[in-house]
Amino acid sequence: MATVIDGRKLAKELNQQTKERVAKLASRGIQPGIVVILVGEDPASVIYTRNKQRKAEKLGIKSILKKFPADVDQVTVMAAVDQYNHDDTIDAILVQEPLPDQLDGQAITNAIRPDKDIDGLHPTNLGKLYANQPGNYPVACTPRGVMTMLHHHHVELAGKNATIVGRSILVGKPMAALLNNANATTTLASRHTRDLAAATRQADILVVAAGSPHLIKAEDVKPGAVVIDVGINRLSSGKLTGDVDFEHVQDVASLITPVPGGVGPMTIASLMQQTVDLAEWRHNGQK
Amino acid sequence: MATVIDGRKLAKELNQQTKERVAKLASRGIQPGIVVILVGEDPASVIYTRNKQRKAEKLGIKSILKKFPADVDQVTVMAAVDQYNHDDTIDAILVQEPLPDQLDGQAITNAIRPDKDIDGLHPTNLGKLYANQPGNYPVACTPRGVMTMLHHHHVELAGKNATIVGRSILVGKPMAALLNNANATTTLASRHTRDLAAATRQADILVVAAGSPHLIKAEDVKPGAVVIDVGINRLSSGKLTGDVDFEHVQDVASLITPVPGGVGPMTIASLMQQTVDLAEWRHNGQK
């Protein structure tokens, strides 16, 4: 029976550390600030954005929600990014996905100042991560939170096989880069992968971010594997469930995250942690 | 018995195309230009640099060799990079590796203008590649040459397993990104990989860039696999050999590159091709 990672507890501990760092910055007259740019009224985005705001305020981080109607044009969003790029009270700029079709999300991402790019999506930050450059730069918060969980549970990574299912820029690719930088042998699988079970069964560390409920069954998992479930799917019953068949996979894995209460809370806690990082790096002139 | 890829023949064809593109640019009064910055007298680097120069001149590309003594300091090299960043007759800046210990190679790479970064090593270019962004940006020339070879031989990549042995920034990582972008399932192995044979035996496409003579034997290769050997090792006999035991692996593979005469010529041809790309992109104001 696998040990179940308590993401809520870990997130609470991390948030406590973040709060203390915010207090230290306050004594220097600095308050970290994050702006979330939200376009339209996508219900999941509205909820997620609200959660981020509440958490930020609770930790003493300045939080701004910049809302645009669903039919906003590119120039208007780009002007807002430019404004926050130059706003000294803002350390972190987050553009909530998904964006409506008329917007060029990539141009918006590339316009964010790399040192305010809280999601680590700017090519300069992603490239530094992929190159395993030393120094300070933001990394996507979900994979960062996963690394914190693995570290907390003393999961050995060097020389181990890590398979990542799903290759988004926000999760799969930075996750693969982080695991590779930790000297794991990484396999990046996607919906194109023909024999997904072969790719997952070789994994000592399996990270699933496919957005497909119960995609991974017990027989797809190597006995003793560490299984990290990034999926959050809402079933027709209203119940939240992951990409992993938790009930059965927990009999095979050695360590596993639940949904909800696993990766989710750690993502928001890592977002707060990194907002404070960005504030510290910028105010200390670190690179 | 595997079909042996004729890298010299393919390179010749590619160089012919490049020459024609140079001629077209000449009719607009444009000559593509490359500068190679060489520090010290490393014998392999001197030979490789000379080959690049000769090839460039033969194709009508302006070629400058900027030599520094082995004990040059950081400021001097950075000043040279800055000079060529602003030199309108230079489209491509290449800093020949290895660099002596007193130099910070990463700071030098990061100082090259991304649109003159012929090796695709700048984090902005590497990040765009990893993110699979559309648009024009340089990619490391060895993996680019490998993709040209695979394309020429109509190797199907989508859904196939690709294993890359070696994870350098110049070869392994951009190779993995290119194969992933072509929808292959990519595994990035390194010297930390515990069961290398398991990683290589699953590969439909196997790219080896480990710098270890005859690391890959026949029993490490899946029957029918495509085997690309990036290694160039000089044996004590003076003979050049690859990372793959060609003599025996050719009985197992369906398609294989020899050493010499495989990847090597394609790397230089791709370097020339990309120098002309950079000139065209810059002069056409493309992004």
Query: B255: distance to nearest CA of chain A, Å?
Result: 21
Please indicate whether residue A119 is annotated as part of the active site.
yes
Is the bond leading into A260 cis (omega within 30 degrees of zero)?
A: yes
Residues of A in contact with B106 (CB under 8 A): 133
Which stretches of chain B drop beneath a pLDDT of 50? none
Q: In this complex, how many residue pairs, one in chain A and one in chain B, have their CB atoms less than 8 Å apart?
A: 103
Distance, in Å, from the CA atom of B65 to the CA atom of B36, rounded to the nearest integer, reads 5
Distance, in Å, from the CA atom of A101 to the CA atom of A104, rounded to the nearest integer, reads 8
Q: What is the CATH number of domain B141-264?
A: 3.40.50.720
Kindly give, in sequence order, each residue whose CB lies less than 8 Å from that of residue A194, ignoring residues fewer than 6 positions away: B159, B160, B185
* CB–CB contact A185 B199 (8 Å): yes
Tell me the longest C-alpha to C-alpha distance in chain B.
Answer: 56
What is the pLDDT at residue A44? 87
- pLDDT of A191 over the 90 cut: yes
Residues of B in contact with A194 (CB under 8 A): 159-160, 185
- CB contact residues (below 8 A), chain B span 85-114, against chain A: 106
With beta carbons less than 8 A apart as the criterion, state whether B252 and B225 touch: yes
Query: B105: distance to nearest CA of chain A, Å?
Result: 11
* CB–CB contact A125 B125 (8 Å): no
Kindly state whether A159 is in contact with chain B, defined as any CB-CB distance less than 8 angstroms: yes
* CB–CB contact A126 B130 (8 Å): yes
Residues of A in contact with B173 (CB under 8 A): 130-131
Please indicate whether residue A106 is annotated as part of the active site.
no
What is the pLDDT at residue B286? 56
Helix segments in chain A, DSSP class H:
7-26, 43-59, 74-85, 105-111, 123-130, 141-152, 172-181, 196-201, 246-249, 263-284
A141-263: what CATH class? alpha beta
Catalytic residue among B115, B119, B204, B243: B119
Report the residue of chain A nearest B190, measured CA to CA.
A185
Determine how many CB atoms are found less than 10 A away from the CB of residue B126. Answer: 31
| Domains B30-113 and B141-264 alike in fold | yes
> Does the annotation place B8 within a ligand binding site?
no
Average pLDDT taken over every residue of chain A: 97
Distance, in Å, from the CA atom of A154 to the CA atom of B189, rounded to the nearest integer, reads 22
pLDDT one-digit tens code per residue, A109-161: 999 999 999 999 999 999 999 999 999 999 999 999 999 999 999 999 999 99
Q: What is the residue extent of each domain of chain A?
A: 29-113, 141-263
Kindly state whether A156 is in contact with chain B, defined as any CB-CB distance less than 8 angstroms: no
Q: For CA atoms B11, B17, B21, B22, give the dihedral sign.
A: positive
Q: For CA atoms B47, B49, B51, B57, give the dihedral sign.
A: negative
Please indicate whether residue A58 is annotated as part of the active site.
no
CATH superfamily of the domain spanning B30-113: Leucine Dehydrogenase, chain A, domain 1 (3.40.50.10860)
Number of helical H runs and strand E runs in chain A:
10, 11
Tell me: domain A29-113, CATH 3.40.50.10860, correct?
yes
Report the residue of chain B nearest A198, measured CA to CA.
B202
Kindly state whether B125 is in contact with chain A, defined as any CB-CB distance less than 8 angstroms: yes
Residues of B in contact with A126 (CB under 8 A): 123, 126-127, 130-131
Kindly give, in sequence order, each residue whose CB lies less than 8 Å from that of residue B235, ignoring residues fewer than 6 positions away: B213, B241
* CB–CB contact B133 A158 (8 Å): no
Kindly state whether A270 is in contact with chain B, defined as any CB-CB distance less than 8 angstroms: no
**B43-59 and B7-26 helices cross at what angle (nearest 10)?**
50
Query: A211: distance to nearest CA of chain B, Å?
Result: 18
- pLDDT of A287 over the 80 cut: no
Residues of B in contact with A180 (CB under 8 A): 167, 188, 190
Report the residue of chain A nearest B107, measured CA to CA.
A133
Catalytic residue among A62, A96, A128, A243: A96
Kindly state whether B193 is in contact with chain A, defined as any CB-CB distance less than 8 angstroms: yes
User: How many angstroms separate the Cα of A87 from the Cα of each of A29, A113, B173?
Assistant: 16, 11, 36
pLDDT one-digit tens code per residue, B37-56: 999 999 889 998 999 999 99
Determine how many CB atoms are found less than 10 A away from the CB of residue B198. Answer: 16
Report the residue of chain A nearest B188, measured CA to CA.
A186
Kindly give, in sequence order, each residue whose CB lies less than 8 Å from that of residue B279, ignoring residues fewer than 6 positions away: B25, B30, B32, B33, B91, B92
With beta carbons less than 8 A apart as the criterion, state whether A11 and A265 touch: yes
Residues of B in contact with A187 (CB under 8 A): 185-188
Query: A246: distance to nearest CA of chain B, Å?
Result: 25
Residue B255, strand partner residues: B3, B226
What is the pLDDT at residue B100? 96
